A = this chain, B = another copy of it.
């Protein structure tokens, strides 16, 4: 399970405050704690409140780089903020994200190639988010084609995100996304990776952690490779690790949770 830690995001109060006050300690502690908890990469999002988004992104990346060289997922819809973040974060970064819209693909795919970055692509196009799995898969196919056209032939660098929505308002979507996860695996050989912005499934619900971890397990069983999530939610991580154990992706031992975390931390 490729875990992108979601906590360095200006949507969270502590991070917003840290950005406003240039408090490096809050950001660095969040970086270290997420890696300690099993994150493979760290999402970096300045949030909606930053006065100058580019400046805030550069500060965040520089602040994180003082404590870790882990891959960073630069999370913004703005090309100029993305460009600045990637330049600062260095090789092995992740663009988070493009969509399947032509105007986005023509900007972000060449940017991924220029910076030797991986790229997350949401299955959204000019008509919005498809209702069903087939619509998601169709957009994913266009995204794969665009990646190849732009020289991104290593499918380890392309993450398709089939866009999960909150279960309390879109109750048929979790099943459609699982079907899409299975279908995306058939698009190319080897197939692109898949990823989800997991916590969206529980947005606005009363039992967020339970819903997040239950859906993570279901999605992993449907072939999900990675997720943007809070690795400090220990029960969530344990559920994901156990799902992979049950799919024979990790050798059983009584201490398999610890063994997993050790293997992540040792790179």
Flag whether A247 is at the interface (Cβ < 8 A): yes
Could you tell me the distance between the alpha carbons of A121 and B162 in the complex, rounded to whole angstroms?
A: 38
**Contact, CB under 8 Å: A207 / B248:** no
Could you tell me the distance between the alpha carbons of A7 and B257 in the complex, rounded to whole angstroms?
A: 28
CB distance from A146 to the nearest CB of B (A): 31
**Contact, CB under 8 Å: A242 / B214:** yes
**Contact, CB under 8 Å: B210 / A242:** yes
Could you tell me the distance between the alpha carbons of A243 and B167 in the complex, rounded to whole angstroms?
A: 11
**B residues in contact with A221, CB < 8 Å:** 178, 217-218, 221-222
CB distance from A172 to the nearest CB of B (A): 5
CB distance from A175 to the nearest CB of B (A): 6
**Contact, CB under 8 Å: B257 / A243:** no
Could you tell me the distance between the alpha carbons of A251 and B171 in the complex, rounded to whole angstroms?
A: 8
**Contact, CB under 8 Å: B248 / A175:** yes
Flag whether A231 is at the interface (Cβ < 8 A): no
Could you tell me the distance between the alpha carbons of A15 and B76 in the complex, rounded to whole angstroms?
A: 59
**B residues in contact with A174, CB < 8 Å:** 246-248
Flag whether A239 is at the interface (Cβ < 8 A): yes
**Contact, CB under 8 Å: A238 / B252:** no
CB distance from A123 to the nearest CB of B (A): 19
A residues 198-235 with Cβ under 8 Å of B? Answer: 201, 205-207, 210-211, 214-215, 217-218, 220-222
Question: Nearest 10 A-B pairs (CB), nearest first?
Answer: A206-B254, A214-B242, A218-B221, A174-B246, A217-B217, A171-B248, A168-B252, A172-B248, A214-B217, A215-B246
